[in-house]
Amino acid sequence: MHHECVISVGSNIEPEHHFSQALEILSSECELVARSSAVRTSPVGFQHQPDFLNAALVVRTALDRDAFKAYLKEVEDRLGRVRGPIKSGPRTMDLDIVAWDGEIVDDGYFKHQYVRGPVDAVLSASGRSISAGPVS
């Protein structure tokens, strides 16, 4: 069985390079269904850092949700992600599952326009919709 997943993508360290690398990895290791355009956004939380590029992807995977979440963290690591003391600090790549099999699973969708805007754009462009599920 394949699962369909909406991923929020963000980077503010060499973002164009890391976006390109993330797309290359994900499209070769998963089925890339759709992607939004990238939008530039101001940082949230820790302000003393460059602006972010944010986008959203729709992918299909045979992995279950926990395994796919671990896979996304591994992709972040491959792209040089360093998890420092400031959770909202600069990063080469941030990949978060926003929706899983049509249900929202990340409350960041409701809290942050930098998540919601690209997600709504990729859903609209691909003819998909999501519903509020049990957000974790």
| Predicted confidence (pLDDT) at residue 61 exceeds the cutoff of 80 | yes
Catalytic (active-site) positions: 81, 91, 94, 96
pLDDT for residue 90: 84
Contact 8, 56 (CB under 8 A): yes
| Predicted confidence (pLDDT) at residue 79 exceeds the cutoff of 60 | yes
Q: Say which CATH topology domain 3-132 has.
A: Alpha-Beta Plaits (3.30.70)
Mean pLDDT lowest for which of 1-10, 54-63, 82-91?
A: 82-91
Q: Which residue type does 103 have?
A: E
The contacts of residue 99 (CB under 8 Å, 6+ apart) are 5, 6, 105, 106, 109, 119, 130, 133
The residue extents of the domains of the chain are: 3-132
pTM reported for the whole predicted model? 0.90
Q: Which residue type does 101 have?
A: D
